[in-house]
Structure 1
Amino acid sequence: MAFDERRYVREVLEPARQAGGALSDDLRVRYQLREPMSGAEIAETVAQVRQGWRRLRGRLTFRPLIDRLSADHEGHAPIFAAAAQGDLGPLRAALREADRRAARRLDDARRRLDDAAGRLRMLPPGIVAGIARSSGVTGQDADRLTAELGVEVRPPDPLPETPPYAGYGRAREALTTLGRRHLADFLFGGRCARMRVLDGFSVPGAGPLAEEIRKVEAEWERRTRGPWTTGADTVLAALRGASDPAALLRYDVVTRLRERVREHSSDDTLLRHAVDELNLAEEDARRLVFAVRQEGGAHGAYAVPAARLRELIEAGEIMAAVDLAAALESGTPEAGSPEPGTPETGTPRSGALTGEAADLAAEARARLSAAVELRERALNAADPDEAWIMLQDALLRVPGLPGAGELLARLAPHPAREPRAEVRDDAVVLTWRPSPSRAGEISYEVLRDGVLLAAAPPGPSGFRDGSPPVDVPVTYSVVARRGEAAAVPVPASPVVVRPEPRDVRLTAGDGIVTGRWSLPPQALRVVVTRDGRPVPADATGFRDREVTNGAGHVYVVSAVYPGPRGPDDSGGSGGPDGSRGSHDPGGSGEVTTPGVRRTVTPHARPEPVTEFSVRPDPSAPGRLLVTCAEPAAGMVEFLALDAVPPWPLGATLSLAEVRRAGRAVPATPVGAGGHLLRPPASSGVLLAVTVAGDLATVGAHREHVGLPPPAGLTAQRRGPAILVGFDWPAGVPEMEVSWGGRSTTVSAAAYRAQGGVRLEHPEGEPLTIEVAPTARIHGARVRGPAATVRLEAAVPVRCRLRFHGPPWRRSLTVELDADRPVPVARLILVLKPGWIQPLSDDDGRVLAEWTGLLAPVTLTVPAPRQSRPYWLRCFADDGTDLVDAPVRERKVE
């Protein structure tokens, strides 16, 4: 589906601009996606939309929105990349999340609109638009929500700002004296219930207003004169003196309602006041309360020329601001606004713009004049870049300046420079130097024989055509584009694509070399040369027996195409080395490609290793020594297989096939026929193969048992005894444990029965313990890689506890004894009441603590005052091998 730019502006950009830049999060809207769409359709649609963004960015009105869309696309790119690969899951998840966000925004807008409407259920358009903009919903959604909520969206009714009668204040004082609530109460009495003052003045059951005034006046003339008649005369004078008595009655009602609003009364209170006390009809009461509430808000600002002019200028509507200023000065009101100079607005009449309004009008006219001058200069500019900059400046001053956008769209950039087409394999790579234009955002289009091939984003200067036509001259052109304006196409030199044979595979054997390939569809045939001499070949391969074992031969495999088809045919394939194909020297008019070069060396058939021996190497523990007779032809390799090889002894195969069957075992030659191997970790079969060139001959094989080293090796001293533990590897029958010049073999059953390995060694000597897997293979014991652990020398420090002296003056002696002096960094004596001894130095009460000791040493402390039973125990730092005192000394009963 082609990108519909007008529809995108109408459905995406214009609503976002009107909403203050709030773009829809729905990817279906942003990228004009429809359901259902395949991954390829989505990728194509997204690409077209992004190209449309680049064109629309030239319109200043939408530039901030396009920049926002382009920045957000970085986060959406992985979603569309997955869709292009056929994975629509991320896109569907993003659409679901966008739907959830839209629902939350609608709920937020509904709640805010409901709260703002309040008891009156009315809202001005500006507030509805502001809530929609801040909530991120469209104007259509806001209109639908207000309809659902029963909220009437309308501008507040215009209210009089000044009294239409100068003596209104005296008339109101007279009404107070007469005990009347308002002018209508004086004029109509109890008949003024459900009075209407908006859209014309009317009282149910009353006649024309002038007639009602005469009736009241006649009634008061019949009354006896007194202070009350004086007040009535004042009120009647006001009604007679006002040019429009209905306007005076309306002003009186509005003034009294304003006074109650200034008391911060609630909407319910104001409605009751307007209906019960001011005798208004319910609909007029609701509209008047709403209008008074909105005074000083958005609508009130619109009635003031300076505020309206400021709003238009800040919104970039310079033309509208100039038109409004002219209308105000000529006395013609702006469409939809009260007529200037009327009593309702108090606005000065025509030709009287002063103060801030006059300054704003002058600013708007100055900006319009400067923009028009820039547009005229751009029309006469010789350099399109200079004209483009001037028009951009004009549109910055006056967005929507007539004629500027159309002229800007016609200003093409300077053309791209020095395009160059080069054939690489089966593709054509086109490069060029960018356009020298620096004004605006320059993008590029690539044409092939005059037909649009691709559009490149701004900035790149290269393109790869992966599917060019074959064996025909092709001309590529580059078009520089700025927005909708395009420069003249700049062509590169014509090229002809003639692919080389594909998947060329040469295999060397014993006195033979074979070749295979795939013939390009448009090629006539393939020709092969060996060391410059022709080799017979068919369409898919050859077999060459005229070769010498051990000698390297250079083969060239070339494709042959029909001859030139026109004067523009370059006659070349444009291979990687830049060379051209040559015409057939026989004069047939055919063209031969430079060809694919391969060097191969045939070898005599490698001889098999019929027998080899395997035994542990005494000079390299953990290694195997493999001995065999050296073959007359070829080199010996060893492979580790999981099972017996599927080929018989002496079978000659391709080296790649043999190596795919197993894992190569690194081997180091040692002497004549000897090879030193690291044993494979897993059990299986060890196979000897003889390799010569691309051939391998299967030799003898031997079963192999994998001997992995133990893991988690630990050793702990228990006096002269040492307890060794480790994780027994699966499949290992025995372990060889070596320490202090001694060794022993331990079976898995014995290890589990004893809970480890117990060794004997003096505490005062350091010790290295080595544990290695071992097994008998073909009558010989094989030893796998070992794990080691080292224990440093330890001198035990023996502790004794003794009480001395009579019961009233007993003391406790702590004796530390050792075979030789041993430093003790820290010693702690702990007491714990009860029948359980302390397990650490914080498991009880500390009786004493010593630091910097040198055993042997004797220490004395007062006997503890503690009821029996209780335990005593000494603790030292980890570096000291402290032997506990006997239980009879530690336990006090």
Structure 2
Amino acid sequence: MFDSERYREEVLDPARKNGNTPPADLLLRYGIDPGRPPRGDAFDAHLTTVVKYWRQLGTQRIAYRKIVEALNAAHRQLAESDLLSAEHFLKDRERVAQATGAALEEIVKDLAGDPVVSAAALTATAARLGGGAATEAKLRALLGRRRIRVIDELWPLPESPPARGSTVLRSIRTLGLPLSLHVLADGRPAVDFTLRAGLRVDGRPLTADRFGVVRERIERGKQDDRKTATDNLLTAMTAALRDGTLDQLVLWELTEAVRPAAGLGKLRVVAREANRLGLQREEAEEFALAVLNRGGVVPVQRDVAAEVEELLGAGSLRAAERLVLAMPADQGAEVRDRVRAAAGRVDELASRAQREIAAGRPEHAAELLATAVREAADDTDLAGRLRMLAPPPAPAVRAGTAAGDRVTISWTPSPARTGGIAYQVVRTRQRPAGSATDGDVIGRTDGNELADTRAPAGDDLHYTVFASRSDGVWSPGATAGPVSLLPEVTGVSAVADESSVRVTWSARPDVTGCTVLREPDGIPVKAGRNGFSDEDLEPGVEYRYLIRAGYPALSAGITVTATPQAAPKEVPDLAVEPLPGQDPGRLRLAWTLPASGEVTLRSSTHRPRWSRGAEITGAELTSYGKELVGRTDPVANRRAALVLPMPAGRLFVTAFSSGGGRAIVGPTVSVTNIAPVTDLRARRAGPVVRLSWTWPDGVALVRVHWWPEDGSPERAEQVDCWLRAYRDDGGLQLTTGVGPVRISVATVSRDGEGETVGSPVGARVAGSGVPVNYRFVQAGTFRRKTRLELTSDQPCPLPNLVVVQSPGRVVPLRPEQGTPVARIPAQRLEPGRPVSVEVPVQATRGPYRLGCFVDDHSGHGPDVVLKGVPGGG
């Protein structure tokens, strides 16, 4: 069934755009389905229906008369040549298809140099080839294979400069900027932006705050032509952003900027220039296509009346008036009347506004002009007259300090009868500002609040708010103040040791000095600009300090507390020691107490991330591992020990010393619940001790420590013994000296994580004593004297000795078996340097015997073994 509406849209409309040329494909021209063409009478009936529709359309709609005339002429020619048949239509279609295909290939080759092409150009090309929608679809597919994008709707470009175009153009020329957006670059070569779906800069919608950042930056510079031009440019762009015309303003700038490149007629050249200016690449290609098609290189049937309607709806009355003049005199009577009526309303509003100004009611005039500008936004005279009317001032302004370091200014909005009011806040000292530039400009906004983050401290500050509809025309000022800003110091940090407190802070550059009172007594403490140190304090007492900043007036002040206490010191050592009875199921940790600080043992499955001696916070301490809790037993020589059940698996134990919110990382030991050695035996042979034990299964290495019984384990000697060497030597032999020693034997496991030491098993080995030889020597002929000589083959500390005399010929075996006749004080005995002492022998009638013994009244036992020949007479 013939669908007349579809036929008109898909066949006749493209033919009209192609210069009223009928399609070359006869099946398309007559609206016949090529897949199921009618035959015989059905074919003739279809042609009759189509021709009748042509005649009806040409009579009812003037716009289709020319194409209908061309279709009728071609139909008569086919009829005269007897070619109105389905067979001829199909055969001719093959010929047209071949010709069209070759033409399409040539067209695609010609377009391959460009990344984009307009849909209007494709439609016109398809129509020129006598195709229509099918040909256009084929052409789109061919271009798609070449990765050429088809733009269905060309980017609409501005026909005339926007309202603020001259100001922007003048400013960017003074600044040497390619586009107004480059004022946001902040030192970068350019900004990246997109326009087609709304202006976005660097991927984000543009806001007034972005302009405010630039304005704050330029306010710090000196006043010159560049600063003035930047200020004018930001004002124009802010106003365009407010009224929604910034997109068109930037698009117009971009169009003007690529005009020289467009003169070359090359799409890639124009696109490259637009991309260099910051427009995203794909949008730059679409923009270049629109620029090169500007002026209608593709024939377009203009609907002038519709364009005028669109201009009126957009508030472009003056452009609508110009377009109406180009319309034929016999067309568009209705739209002409609408334009005439709108112009009359605007003129009446302008006249009434002038009368209100003369009567001293400028805000009523502004309201009338704003109404007129909404209908004639492209009337620069009306817009200029509105801008020259200053709005009423803000009724009330409030200023107060916030957060101690800034002043917040807020105000009641101006009772202006129009929108688009902007406010500028000016800061002055000691007096209100007389104009919008009389002082330090804090900022501009279309809201009703601003914060002064750079307010000077200690002065009486006044904040004046000016309202404006456009840059340079300001209302009278409304002032708040005076306000005095007295910020406190910041970044306060207090550190206490055993008898002093040190406090530091950061002060503003304009601080003249700081005062500090130690509370509750109110004692002044001498302070510098950035801190103080309070000495000779009592440990364990909390002190409070009131710190006030001077400008020279003093701030309210802030309080900081601190408690002196000794700083924690590192735990000197930590060891895993054997338990009495060699109990492998329990763990004994021993350490030397630090000079100050409380010791905390914490265990974890991994080593601490801090190095030994590092200072950490209390929070860091509690976040590491698990605290080992138990009864701590004091040990001699400032040592302490903690006995715990031996945990399963491997763990690391670290000793921390803490105090005053700080902690010092101490030593770490690794403990693994691996089987200990058993049956530990030790045998002494003089200075040599021979060890033996039973090895547990799976263990091939043990670590042996030994140290003097009266010494510290932290100074122990160490030796590693492997199972193979133990078996080869039949045990382990240590040269420990002759004194008593303590021995610890611990199994060791090594893996990819490192080395783990199991629970140690200990033993005590008694000393053997240093051999010391003595003899009694008699000399003299008439008066004989007796001397005691002591010698040794190795150096040793000689203890106190006593010589006893007993009557008879029986040698004394113990000191108490005789009478002491001489005492030799303790001293050092060196090899080759004998000690000789005279012995005053008691007179006796019969024989006597002399013996030498250790005078062991101290109870420490002998350190030497005396060997010699008793004397006597």
Structure with the greater alpha carbon radius of gyration: 2
TM-score normalised to structure 1 length: 0.39
